[in-house]
Amino acid sequence: MRVRSRLPMLDSASSCWLLRKNLSVSYSAAMRARLSDIAQQADVSEATVSRVLNDRPGVAPETRQAVLTALDVLGYERPARLRKRSAGLVGLVVPELDNPIFPAFAQIIESALAPTGFTPVLCTQTPGGVREDEYVEMLLDRQVSGIVFVSGLHADTAADHDRYRTLIARPLPIVMINGYAPGIPAPFVSCDDREAAELAVAHLVALGHRRIGLITGPDRFVPVQRKVSGYKTAMRRLAEVGDDELAELTELSLFGVEGGEAAAGRLIERGATGIVCGSDLMALGAIRAARQRGLSVPADLSVVGYDDSPLMAFTDPPLTTMRQPVTAMAVAAVRALVDEINGHGAPHSEYLFRPELVVRGSTAVARQDGTPAQGDSKGRRPAPPALPVPA
Measured in degrees and rounded to the nearest 5, phi and psi for residue 367 equal -60, 130
From the list 157, 152, 155, 154, the residue with the least C-alpha distance to 165 is 154
Segments making up each domain of the chain, as ranges: 193-323
- Averaged pLDDT in 10-residue chunks for the chain of 391 residues: 43 37 40 74 90 88 88 80 70 92 95 91 85 94 95 95 95 96 94 98 97 97 98 97 96 95 97 97 98 97 96 96 97 95 87 97 86 42 42 41
**According to the model, what pLDDT value does residue 371 have?**
52
**According to the model, what pLDDT value does residue 369 have?**
65
**According to the model, what pLDDT value does residue 367 have?**
87
Residue 341 has, within 13 A of its CA and on its CB side, a CA count of 23
> 3-state class of 193 per DSSP?
helix
**According to the model, what pLDDT value does residue 387 have?**
40
Q: What is the pLDDT of residues 89-127, one digit of tens each?
A: 999 999 988 899 999 999 999 999 988 989 999 999 877
Top-tier CATH class for 193-323: alpha beta
- Conformation bin of residue 204: beta by default, left when phi > 0, alpha when psi is -120 to 50: alpha
pTM beyond 0.85, yes or no: no
**According to the model, what pLDDT value does residue 380 have?**
42
Contact 8, 17 (CB under 8 A): no
DSSP one-letter code for 76? B
**According to the model, what pLDDT value does residue 86 have?**
54
- SS3 percent helix, strand, coil of the chain, rounded to 5, is 40, 15, 40
